Amino acid sequence: MPMPIKAIASDNGLEAVKLAYDLMQQEEDTLEAVVRGVTLVEDDPNDLTVGYGGLPNEEGEVEVDAAVMHGPTHRAGGVAALKKIKHAARLAMKVMETIDHSLLAGEGALAFARALGFPEENLLTEKTRKIWLHWKRIRSQNDSWKAPESEDDVDVEVLEFFRKRKLNYAGEPIGEQNRPTGTIHCAGINATGDISCVTTTSGLAFKVPGRVGDSPIIGAGLYVDNEIGSCGSTGRGEANLRDVCSFAGVELMRNGMSPLDAGRELLQRICRHTTEPHLLDAEGRPNFGVRFYLLAKSGEHAAVSMWGPTKYAIADENGARIEQCDYLFERQDRKSTGEHTDGTR
């Protein structure tokens, strides 16, 4: 009996799940389907989370990370701290397919992309350049940049971007929960029950150059066991790395937990292991965002978030749509806007 075809993704992945679902209906391989899905987001200059138009590091350069995992073969590939290459997810897939390594980083990843003929380009758009420049003006009082004197001194597009994150024109207040970020995770299951997934990101905005989060790390940013299911994440990569959450999520499902219960347990583990004062709110809860997307072999799925209300994307026999995530804590002062801004990546 055929399994239910399904694709799930972070909330910026509506077009990605729509394409991935259509491709799996046409019997395309699950990994090819989800990679082609997220490539739509990597190409979109209006999405500030990945690829072209992603937010840059503190020096104004866009650095991208990506990983893929193919359930039927249990193979994986990733790239990290990669510059000038828009299609990081496709390059991660090439790592998996063409060389006897699982992860390439920095100049090595760029050289590999060049060898395969990937085009090099400036990934910084005019919008993200202006956002980065404004951040330089407000980030410190100990350098030569002058902060804006009023809102009239700030580009309207930039001002709107910062306002969505509860920041004023001078950048106050700013904390982990407000810091601009971005990632897309997408997972798919086909009619034969094969599962694959991909994560691609431009990472934490204005990060220290060379910083790598969880996205390209197999077992942290994503993981698949074709007999059990998959798990992937968006949010604060440093927190996820410490608990290797995607591997743990699949193991929890192996031991009988539903995707929802497994996802909530991962969030609770992060809560228990977050002890740094600057990462906790007044009630001792993590002040950052983390989300998990879990897909079981049965087709059952869940999307869970540290803070809500938040959303995710899904495509199945009922069409492609945005739905609400389950969550641990509700942030009263910020409702979901549909924009992917859930913590640091």
| pLDDT tens figures, 259-269 | 999 999 999 99
Q: What is the pLDDT of residue 155?
A: 75
Q: What is the pLDDT of residue 336?
A: 39
Pairwise CA distance, residues 205 & 129, whole Å: 12
- Within 13 A of 343's CA, how many CA atoms are on the CB side? 25
**Tokens representing residue 340 in the block:** 């992917």
Q: What is the pLDDT of residue 199?
A: 98
**pLDDT, averaged across the chain:** 89
**What CATH number belongs to 6-121+179-330?**
3.60.20.30
Q: Which are the contacts of 57, defined by CB distance < 8 A and separation ≥ 6?
A: 63, 203, 206, 207, 208, 209, 211
> Is residue 258 classed exposed, middle or buried when 0-12, 13-18 and 19+ CB atoms within 10 A define those classes?
middle
> Is 183 a residue of the active site?
yes
183, 201, 234, 274: which one is catalytic? Answer: 183
Q: What is the pLDDT of residue 175?
A: 45
Q: What is the pLDDT of residue 344?
A: 36
Calculate the alpha carbon distances from 115 to 66, 79, 89, 236 in Å. Answer: 18, 15, 16, 33
Q: Which residue has the tokens 């009082």?
A: 141
Tell me the one-letter amino acid at 344: T
Look at 156 and 40; give whichever has higher pLDDT: 40
Q: Which residues pair with 291 in a beta bridge?
A: 234, 305
Give the domain ranges of the chain: 6-121+179-330
pLDDT higher than 80, residue 182: no
Q: Note whether 165 and 341 are within 8 A (CB).
A: yes
Q: What is the pLDDT of residue 137?
A: 77
pLDDT band at 94 (very low <50, low <70, confident <90, very high): very high
Closest CA to 98 of 77, 84, 126: 77
Pairwise CA distance, residues 284 & 26, whole Å: 49
pLDDT higher than 90, residue 179: no
**Tokens representing residue 197 in the block:** 């997934």
Q: Which residues pair with 321 in a beta bridge?
A: 314
What's the CA angle centered on 292, arms 37 and 100, to 5 degrees?
A: 60
Q: What is the pLDDT of residue 135?
A: 82
